Structure 1
Amino acid sequence: MLFKTVLVILLYVSGVLGQNGWRVTYTPETICGLKGSSVDMRCSYLYPKSHTVQKTFWFIHQNPIPELDDLSLDPEYSDRVEYLGNKKNNCTFRINQLRESDREAYHFRFLTNREDSRYTGRPGLTLEVTALRVIMYPDTVTEGQSVTLTCSTTCTLTGLPAFTWYRDRSPLSFTTQTHQLTASSEDGGRYSCAVKGYGHLPSPAVALTVNYPPQGTTVSFSGEIVEGSSVTLTCSSDANPPVNRYTWLKGNRTVSSATGGPEASYTIKHITRQDSGEYYCEAGNWIGTHRSPPKLLDVQYSPKNTSVSVSPSGEIVEGISVTLTCSSDANPPVQNYTWFKEKRAVSSRRKSGLNHTITNILSQESGQYYCEVQNQVGTQNSTTETINVQYPPKNTSVSVSPSGEIVEGSSVTLTCSSDANPPVQNYTWFKKNETGVWQAGSGQSLTLSNFRSWNSGHYYCVSENKHGPQNSTALLATVQGGQIVAVAAAVGVGAIVALVFLGVVWVSRRRKSTNVTVHTEGDREGNKGPIYSNVSGTPMSHTETLCTDRGNGEVPLYSSVQPSNTHNQVELLYSTVCCPQSEDEVQYASVQFLPSGAGPRPPASTVTEDCVLYSTVRKHQT
């Protein structure tokens, strides 16, 4: 028994020394494994060719009976170890789920078919087990300073593996065991590292604190931004340490200050359109300040200051085109306009900047106009705008008073009525009988005192304002059976003012010019004296004649009649005086009214029947 023991020891010793062909080689002899990972203990062995390997195993302690130390039988290892070798020359061994307690010297042993032939590789393979941890220096910095990160181990991991770095569990781009960075606000966070391929075995995380001034400052609104409501403005900013002061500005004017955390609020109660504008928030901490971009506060409100304008802005005369324009201050802009004339809708359109146009305006379209405007917030009516359509006289007529039976010699009053805007300025009365047309007076009423048969005739009035004149229908006043009879009758003078004068004209049979002055009653403004003047005869100078030479050397005379009081007149009178049919009379013919400023008297052939009156003036008998 003692001999066998000595033999085993000798074989063991000779094996270590590689004597007689026995040898175990560990590559490397020391390895560093990562806690929780797997490690392969690479191993090879040799023995004499005359032997056959019967058993192989790894152990960590030498017992009197070494076979009992087989790690595959040890409860601490049995479910974590694998023999990757064979019974020829490969003795590689793997340990999974490394523990820090696995730090040991590991040995390989094999037995052959020869009695008491066994061999153990000495001094064995040393296994180191390390955990990872992050070393950060410094761990608190101000933006712009440098930070060094190291993924630290207690031993050098076998194989010099690459590393994976994480910030807040998100992988980073660098893979070295040590990394240096220039800190920015984005670099703050919790850092950890892991061996590449073992991302599930990271180190504990270490926090890096980066101090920086406020950044990303923004302004937001809450609430309906409508005039009268309450609106809250909120300022948000990212800073480390957190913002401890806020300043609110509208434009460049400070409107409020607040202190507090990452947000600050500014509330405007009963907001008005004057509160519209660009708002800023300025956030600060002990490192610095930052101002937000401008935020436009656009306060919506219902229409205000609604008004109507009229074009043209001066006098509005019947027949022209008139445009009414509605303007209003509203946000959002007016969406609907409705036009009213004295509370009656006349036009409605859905468009902005509405104009209401009346073409060829009539007198009945005078009145008060206003517009109603509406947006999505509310409505408003404008003030009223009065349109006063002016027009020349219309519906001119004559009435008589008294209206019953009137005895000859009584007083009769004729009254002229007319619709005009502006009101009639001038009334002129005319009488037409068998001797011609006479101007009978002026003023709205014409009184005939002590009416006699020679007062009989057709009476009519001409009413006139600055836009033109109009004739009334004629009223026939005559004496029948001792009573005055008044009957309406038409006069063929059309719409032209039949202003014909009559006077005593002395005509000489000798060829010479004649001057005639006709007197009548004072005009409406009280001017006494002649209304018409410059009645002068001139020899006929063209070949068209209205009467022929009487054979006694007398030739026709032409007279040009011009009213002397022209400031209220709108027409010129031209008359042609023909030669007398006898010694006792002169005939007037071709009496035509032309607009003032007209050219020379038209030829007799162009005188229309409507504008010709005839009258005869008999020579006074001496």
Structure 2
Amino acid sequence: MLLAEAWCLFLGFILYISDLQVKVIPTTEGQTVSLMCSTSCPLTENPAAYIWYKNGEFLYKDWSPWYQQLVSSEKEVTYSCAIKGYEDLRAPEVSVDSVTSTCFSVTYAKGRMCSDKQTSVDEPCSITYPREVRVQRTHKEGYVLLTCSTSCPQIDSQTAYRWYRGGYRYFDSQQLYVFTLTDEGLYCAVKDNEDLLSPEICLTVKFAPSAVVTEGQRVTLTCSTSCPLSDNTNYIWYLNSRPLTLPENQHKQLVLDPVSSQHAGNYSCAVKPTTCSAPLKRLSLSTVTQENGQQQQLQEA
């Protein structure tokens, strides 16, 4: 969220909203953004009435916290909001300086959004945010390097990134090293802009009948996804981080029949034209020794 560090003040039984902010969120409709009046404090009245101001003047009152119109670049126009009954606790004014296909820039009249660059919270500050965030995956020997990246060229080199798993904060860093099976369900965001999330890592490799099989069996690997994919999706399979050449009739599924020791290793899959790819999963083979009849697991090369 584009919010200051939240704090709420109680005087007796009356709640005063002291962290009210105008959140600026990119849209999918051209070069525009949407505005939302937001506070992390619990409101004493539900539903609450929101009041919007433009250039310091009363604009309208509404039950929805969302500003009624999409906003494009209007550097000289400022927006603010308040909760009815707490008009003296207006959110700091915000102006949308520019909106491009990859970035948007916002100026805050005051507040803690730029606390690392300000000497006082009463100073104005400007921040450039990306319109989208994505996860890039690089397969290494034994692990995967995840990078939270954007296509915004103006983004600050000091921008902080945050990783989430299952909706919970996971790690603060632009890059994350993940070993084998641990990156499913991860996604990232630019810190302090958590309304803008990358797509969740949603692909996974599934083995049938299992991930440990006997040499000579038929094994089917499926590139499974919880994300909606188009009909023209192309699947790419990797063994030990190297792309595989597939038969024409094998795409989402990879059939190994019969499976042999050369098939043991770490498998992953990816889909094009998206950048979505699955975490590595290991296929191991077992064989029966002639000396004691016990199964031994073959290690991949």
Return the TM-score normalized by structure 1.
Answer: 0.20
Give the number of the structure with larger relative contact order, counting CA–CA contacts within 8 Å between residues 6 or more apart.
Answer: 2
Larger Rg: 1
Instruction: Looking at secondary structure, tell me which structure has more helix per residue.
Output: 1
Return the TM-score normalized by structure 2.
Answer: 0.34
